Structure 1
Amino acid sequence: MDSHHHHHHLCYNMQECLNAIQNKISDCNSLQDRHGSRYLINGKVVIEHSPGLSGPGKSASVQVYSSTVIDPNTMKGKLSGKACLKKGKSSKKDGTKTTVYKIKLHVEPGFGNPGAFLIENNHKHRFFLQSATLVTPENKVIHFDCRSWVYPIKDTNTSRLFFSNTCYLPSKTPACLVELRKEELESLRGDGTGERKEWDRIYDYALYDDLGNPGKGPDHVRPVLGGSRSRPYPRRGRTGRPATKNGTINLDTYVPPDERCSPKKLSEFIANAIQATAYFHLPEAKSLPRDSSSFESFGDIRDLYSNNRRQAMRGKSVTEKVKKFVPAQLFKDVTHVIEEVDIKFPLPQIIRANQFAWKLDEEFGRQMLAGTNPTRIHCLREFPPRGTLTESHIEQSDIEHNLDGLSFEQAMKQWRIYVLDHHDYLLPFLRKMYSEGVRPCASRTLLFLRNDATLKPLAIELSYPGSSNNVDGMKTMVLLPEKEDIPQALWQLAKAHVAANDSAYHQLISHWLHTHAVVEPFIIATRRQLSVMHPVHRLLDPHFKDTMHINALARTVLINAGGILEKTLFTGKFSMELSSELYKQWRFDEQALPSDLIKRCMALEESENPRGALMLFQDYPYGLDGLDIWLAIQTWVGDFCDIFYEDDPSVKSDTEIQAWWSEIRNVGHGDKRKEQWWCQMTTKADLKRTLTTLVWIASALHASVNFGQYSYAGYPPNRPSRCRKFVPEEGTMEFAEFLKDPDKYFLNMLSDRFEASLGIALMEVLSRHTSEEVYLGQRATSEWIDNKQVKQRFEKFNKSLREIEKQIMERNGDPELMNRRGPAKVPYKLLYPDATKVDTPAGITAKGIPNSISI
């Protein structure tokens, strides 16, 4: 065919198309003319752009399903024709470009109300669909809160379905939507095979089998966690990918698109990480192959925060480094943030007001109640503690003179002896952890609750492996705060070992395991078993934001073989095994704050009390503020459930909730499926308690153990994360060395410069709030649910949180409450909700409870 002829043929086809389109339009117009504009559904669609990518415009089209008129052929709601997105109006805010498109859908008379819509993306790029609003001919406005990526149909082979913001229990679903509801859930479950591609929206479970990196040698082999009696663990999201063997940071791990951080958040996160670790990319850091020297003096440590290191470096060398491990599209998103990196660690709160307060015993005790890890201390009800592996070597007679005139028995009866216990669970690991540069101890610390409610340390018991040739022998040493013949400095060394134990427990258990890891199976089960239309899905969704993505990043940078936690904690390559060992003790029901406080004897059970527990002493900041927040969450969750569930049978007969609960127990936390403590989910009380606990873990519990990290652990002497020397025994060479220069011995015992700086950098990244954080008592959009009653109750929840904020500020100002500020003058704000935040100042604020585990 000659080109001229070919050209002519094309024109002819074009002409034919144009004529057809013209006829279509006149058909529509005549329909409209006949009925005025009555059968027109108008709408707008809001789309957010990835930097550098164009919006879809006319290459995206929308079709609407009726929620009131069924199509007898499909048994689904009647489906409208397609309408393209037109007349996009763009605007920019904080560097994010948003476009609002209009759509016009012609429908037959009696089409009824839209209940869902399909969107098809024939554009070459994905786009982020924020929301859609449709207005029916009768002027009924229907909202769709979408917040999801829509990928090109060439990748997905299928259009994307969105349901309106109206919630229905499964049995109350409009007939038109029943089939759609079922199909959508089935597609999200996938078939459990194949490698996930970026655009797959599939939720499934996997074991933690990707932490090791055997390709790098036997030192990088790690056991699989989960799926066995010896190493139980919660499940993670399945990617279907072989674990990477080349040891690169893989920021491209598969995470279902709706769980991914926004481009803006990810670029902030990466920029923060680069800023924090820039220290390691500096030219002068190069000259020290890996600066394993110790700090020379306390002043030397303070220099890390001082102005003389304030060189802003142009992002050249850093940008090159980043390019190596960041996917190309992501690199485009973040380059503008990396332009100028200023390396200077802010001064941690613990040394701001008083640079030596951290050394005081009172501050040491206070941090167990109000520091980064306030969830481990418990009241001792019998001595020696029952069920322990080992006899305690602490003699009652050594400590009785410190009990304000009471005998040990009397003090214990009055609930005034406390213990911070990091002993038995560590014992089996100590010998293995003993290595070049690590001298591990297991510790028990006894404390006395004084009349002013401050905690006075009484004794520290340390167990540690004897010399390497004495294989079985565990040695023990008991240190007391003020024995005349033992200098105060020796006691300081013992406290450092306790802090190292507590740091590892905090990072691996209180923080990673008890929030990040245990919540992931709940997220997967929610997406697989509860339709987006399910009210409980609506309730929980904000509390799951970004968690799966953060956890996936953690698996490639933090908790993996050779990752940052192994490099900075004394537990080294046994870190995650230890966390599996402690998962054996985890119980979901005990994660409810009142149960936790009662179990640790920090409070008494009190069923008449709406909080469910009565604090034993008021000056336990975490416990007191926590119970207020717990009650507020419990009331809100209760109000919410009462709107949708009339009675116990309505919970029992909710097929989706039952499938959800069964999957959490049998699959997501499957290694615990035989445990008796799981509730049966047959009553409204079961459901309310479960949801309250879940919201508490994802919001307040996580905030309390995460956002105080830099304030306290940003200064290594206060919370060392590993010790390189044991407390010296009298008569040894080490003891002589210690006597000569106790400060120097202490500094040599801490992590070396490299590890300490890496640890500080990590604390800084984890303690930051990002600018798009949504806080407890807030929602990302006011149209998150179409239900007036729910919105009124939510407003009530927000009000109660603002009341709590006032109370917290009053408590912090009360001179009677010594533990609220302590000698270091760090006010306790980790459970201050900040529910009024609108434009969040990002950064390290040491306050604010985000809705979800989003960092």
Structure 2
Amino acid sequence: MASYKVQVATGNYLLGGTFSRISITLVGTQGESPKQELNNSGRDFVRGAVDEFSLPCEPDLGSLLMIRLHKDPYLFFPSDGWYCSYVKVKTPRGDVYTFPSYQWLEGHGTWSLREGTAKKIADDAGNQLLLDHRKEELKKQQDFYRELEVRLKGFSGLRDSWKSLEDIHKIFWFNKTPVSEYVAEHWLEDSFFGYQYLNGVHPTMIRKCTEIPPNFPVTPEMVAGCLGPSTSLQKELKKGNIFIIDYKILEGIPTCKLDGIQQYLAAPICLFYLNPKGQMMPLAIQLSHTPGPEIPIFLPTDRKWDWTLAKIWTKLANFHVHEVNTHLLEAHFLGEVYVMATLRQLPRCHPIYKLLIPHTRFIFHINTLARTSLLHPGGFLDKAASTGREGMVQLMAKGTQTTTYASLCLPDDLQQRGVTSVPNYYYMEDGMKIWTAIENFVSAIVGFYYKCDAEVKDDPEIQAWVHEIFTEAFLGRESSGAPSTLETKAELTKFLTMIIFCSSARHAAVNSGQFDFAAWMPNTPATLRQPPPKVKGTASLESILDTLPDVSSTCTLLVVLSVVSYPLHEQGRLGHYPDEHFTEEEPKRHIAAFQERLAVISKTIEERNKKLALPYSYLNPVLVENSIAV
């Protein structure tokens, strides 16, 4: 009688093993085996184990197509979960088939696993068994996954003002980093203020200014002293050396009261000058989009604390746009839609499912924790941020109407913002290296499974997938520029590159430095307790301390940001795929080539950073997660 050799791998996770009775059915082109229990002497299916079994089977089953794993009760043991990594089967002819699982099998029941070769729906044409399996799997996934609501949560505490900057240092010690100490030392410097819009936690907003907006009446005389005697504002505009940050999206966003004390927010416009030294220097700040007698334009030549206060108001605005829209919306919540569409519209055997699934790990977990532990009503935003929960919801609603596909595709984004020639823009330099590495990898995978553009256009699962993303992430807005269909290999490659880049590198750039740049609270306040100044000449250190967040709000922010900025786990590193969803040799070679490119990028970044007073490491591939895991 013929014998099939079966290997079953149990994941090395806490409680990954099972006490249930495990049986298997082999399904081939010439029939299927009877259900047979997998049982050796002693304990099987323990955490991290690879168990081997021999299955007698009289008929030749032909080429194996799938297996069925049956998980049934054993004695009086309760129902449990089992993390099955993979199953390998060696036939009597010596052929080896791999059936990837990499999932928790909860409770009792039967799970069908396909042979690991990635297959588009067109590849299953003529095999009703495999077509039915695709359909049944997607039906189960679509029934299970539901779009999730946004909820908010946080903390509370003391409401005293800070007595001095030295007092802020006293709570700053508990989790300092080299970057946070640098920030505390240099936060007042204009060059460092500008640096942060290139290489800080929000490097995606600054853009070239070709003409001064009519509602920002900066005159050449105002900034002449900052530009120097041999040039002028008009000359620098023509040279392309003037840049702008515009927080118009904050207009009309309501603010809240914290312990009965009204909090405030402004919608600033800030002008920058790229000087001959390659420094991005702030030139002028206006704290409203409606100019008037009580809306002064603040300048670097003003009194120290007037100018400092204007920069603090700008950093408050930056905190809200960064945290709510760039981080929460564009990374976490759009990322959740990408994952949801992948799970709901692509069967596990689809090559694009296999490509994307490592970049989806933990997002439901971290987003659920955010909703239940940080973001629910009465939580962090209601107790430490000037918008409160209601303002945050309105700001995010505005963000959903303004986010564009181009802003998420790094080459397009840089081009549209006019910043491709800005020097010392390490987010751009490192980001483009990673984007190109991802694009080359994705292009190779797409090219292996799709031989021509028509195969992309005619793949109904891919079209359902991209349409769900267009509908749910971009709200069906044609103005977003996001595709609702994909008709070429190039379009599919770009879309996949965007998803992987935003789930890994872009998220790292806007997340990993949060504690570094906010630990020194005056550099990144989440709220301010006095209204924006209507005149110059009144600010002092004392008035700034009365304006900055109180002790409780500061500590709340630091605790939250210290949690979300923790280092990654080794298994989650970009390009590291411990779960082998691809079983063919060519995709494995492309993965290895991708890892080699990332290693070269990492070495290049580390060599450059040795020469910098403040290293930029947020896009070093060894520090970038595969997915949005925090």
Q: Which residue of structure 1 aligns with residue 141 of structure 2?
A: 188
Q: Which of 415, 419, 424 is the equivalent residue of 1:598?
A: 415
Change (3 A) 1:50 1:443: same
How far, CA to CA, are the matches of 2:492 and 2:69 in structure 1? 34
Q: Which residue of structure 1 aligns with residue 76 of structure 2?
A: none
Q: Which residue of structure 1 aligns with residue 561 of structure 2?
A: 763
How far, CA to CA, are the matches of 1:651 and 1:477 in structure 2? 56
Q: Which residue of structure 2 aligns with residue 323 of structure 1?
A: none
How far, CA to CA, are the matches of 1:449 and 1:548 in structure 2? 41
How far, CA to CA, are the matches of 1:41 and 1:673 in structure 2? 54
Q: Which residue of structure 2 aligns with residue 502 of structure 1?
A: 318
How far, CA to CA, are the matches of 1:501 and 1:670 in structure 2? 26
Q: Which residue of structure 2 aligns with residue 795 of structure 1?
A: 592
What displacement does 1:433 show?
Answer: 8.2
- Match status 1:131 vs 2:82: no
Letter in 2 for 1:600: R
How far, CA to CA, are the matches of 1:578 and 1:632 in structure 2? 34
**Which secondary structure does the structure 2 equivalent of 1:98 belong to?**
coil
How far, CA to CA, are the matches of 1:766 and 1:376 in structure 2? 22
Letter in 2 for 1:769: P
Structure 1 residues 422-821: aligned runs within 5 Å:
422=247, 424-429=248-253, 436-463=261-288, 475-483=294-302, 487-573=303-389, 574-603=391-420, 616-667=421-472, 669-672=474-477, 677-678=482-483, 680-729=485-534, 735=538, 738=539, 742-771=540-569, 773-781=571-579, 783-814=580-611, 821=612
What displacement does 1:503 show?
Answer: 0.8
Q: Which residue of structure 1 aligns with residue 27 of structure 2?
A: 65
Change (3 A) 1:718 1:146: same
More deviation in 374-383 or 83-92?
83-92
**Which secondary structure does the structure 1 equivalent of 2:151 belong to?**
coil
Q: Which of 171, 175, 180 is the equivalent residue of 1:304?
A: 171
- Match status 1:205 vs 2:29: no
Change (3 A) 1:99 1:508: same
Q: Which residue of structure 1 aligns with residue 5 of structure 2?
A: 41
Change (3 A) 1:62 1:395: same
Describe the superposition over 1:447-486 as per-residue Cα deviations: whole angstroms up to 9, x where unpaired.
10011211111111112999xxxxxx99422111123xxx
What displacement does 1:128 show?
Answer: 1.9
Q: Which of 124, 128, 135 is the equivalent residue of 1:173?
A: 124
Q: Confirm or deny: 8 A CA contact 1:43 1:133 kept in the other structure.
A: yes
- Match status 1:111 vs 2:49: no
% same residue: 26
Q: Which of 152, 161, 170 is the equivalent residue of 1:294?
A: 161
How far, CA to CA, are the matches of 1:86 and 1:798 in structure 2? 39
Q: Confirm or deny: 8 A CA contact 1:351 1:357 kept in the other structure.
A: no
- Match status 1:830 vs 2:615: no
Describe the superposition over 1:298-339 as per-residue Cα deviations: whole angstroms up to 9, x where unpaired.
222222244xxxxxxxxxxxxxxxxxxxxxxxxxxxxxxxxx
How far, CA to CA, are the matches of 1:524 and 1:565 in structure 2? 26
How far, CA to CA, are the matches of 1:532 and 1:384 in structure 2? 51
Describe the superposition over 1:140-198 as per-residue Cα deviations: whole angstroms up to 9, x where unpaired.
22223322111222xxxx412222321111111272422222222122222xxxxxxxx
How far, CA to CA, are the matches of 2:80 and 2:536 in structure 1? 72
Q: Confirm or deny: 8 A CA contact 2:514 2:565 kept in the other structure.
A: yes
Change (3 A) 1:164 1:668: farther
Describe the superposition over 1:774-824 as per-residue Cα deviations: whole angstroms up to 9, x where unpaired.
11121023x33111111111111111111111221233234xxxxxx4xxx
Q: Confirm or deny: 8 A CA contact 2:4 2:89 kept in the other structure.
A: no
What displacement does 1:631 show?
Answer: 0.6
More deviation in 144-153 or 536-545?
144-153
Higher RCO, 1 vs 2 (CA within 8 Å, ≥6 residues apart): 2
Change (3 A) 1:352 1:790: same
TM-score by length of 1: 0.68
Q: Which of 18, 29, 35 is the equivalent residue of 1:55?
A: 18
Letter in 2 for 1:376: M
Describe the superposition over 1:399-452 as per-residue Cα deviations: whole angstroms up to 9, x where unpaired.
133223222121011110111211x22222257789824122221111100112
Q: Confirm or deny: 8 A CA contact 2:515 2:561 kept in the other structure.
A: yes
Q: Confirm or deny: 8 A CA contact 1:419 1:447 kept in the other structure.
A: yes
Q: Confirm or deny: 8 A CA contact 2:180 2:518 kept in the other structure.
A: no
Q: Confirm or deny: 8 A CA contact 2:384 2:527 kept in the other structure.
A: yes
What displacement does 1:769 show?
Answer: 2.5
Q: Which residue of structure 2 aligns with residue 851 of structure 1?
A: 626
How far, CA to CA, are the matches of 1:160 and 1:635 in structure 2? 35
Describe the superposition over 1:610-650 as per-residue Cα deviations: whole angstroms up to 9, x where unpaired.
xxxxxx13311111111111111111111111111111111
Q: Confirm or deny: 8 A CA contact 1:446 1:460 kept in the other structure.
A: yes
Bigger Rg, structure 1 or 2: 1
Change (3 A) 1:514 1:85: farther
How far, CA to CA, are the matches of 2:568 and 2:607 in structure 1? 27
How far, CA to CA, are the matches of 2:546 and 2:319 in structure 1? 18
Q: Which residue of structure 1 aligns with residue 110 of structure 2?
A: 159
Q: Confirm or deny: 8 A CA contact 2:605 2:617 kept in the other structure.
A: yes
Q: Confirm or deny: 8 A CA contact 2:452 2:489 kept in the other structure.
A: yes
Structure 1 residues 143-292: aligned runs within 5 Å:
143-153=98-108, 158-173=109-124, 175=127, 176-190=129-143, 202-205=144-147, 208=149, 211=151, 290-292=157-159
Change (3 A) 1:88 1:130: farther
Q: Confirm or deny: 8 A CA contact 1:380 1:415 kept in the other structure.
A: yes
Q: Which runs of 5+ in 1 are unaligned?
A: 1-31, 33-37, 72-77, 191-201, 213-248, 250-276, 281-288, 307-344, 386-390, 467-472, 604-615, 815-820, 835-847
What displacement does 1:773 show?
Answer: 4.3
Letter in 1 for 2:93: E
**Which secondary structure does the structure 2 equivalent of 1:144 belong to?**
strand
Q: Which residue of structure 1 aligns with residue 95 of structure 2?
A: 140
Letter in 1 for 2:26: V
Q: Which runs of 5+ in 2 are unaligned?
A: 74-78
Change (3 A) 1:731 1:370: closer
What displacement does 1:714 show?
Answer: 1.7
Q: Confirm or deny: 8 A CA contact 1:411 1:417 kept in the other structure.
A: yes
Q: Which residue of structure 2 aligns with residue 86 of structure 1?
A: 40
Q: Which residue of structure 2 aligns with residue 420 of structure 1?
A: 245
How far, CA to CA, are the matches of 2:414 and 2:591 in structure 1? 27
How far, CA to CA, are the matches of 2:493 and 2:600 in structure 1? 23
How far, CA to CA, are the matches of 1:797 and 1:589 in structure 2? 24
**Which secondary structure does the structure 2 equivalent of 1:717 belong to?**
helix
Letter in 1 for 2:626: N
What displacement does 1:355 show?
Answer: 4.1
Letter in 1 for 2:51: Y
How far, CA to CA, are the matches of 1:160 and 1:674 in structure 2? 43
- Match status 1:402 vs 2:226: yes
Letter in 1 for 2:437: A
Change (3 A) 1:54 1:547: closer
Q: Confirm or deny: 8 A CA contact 1:440 1:464 kept in the other structure.
A: no
Change (3 A) 1:556 1:129: same
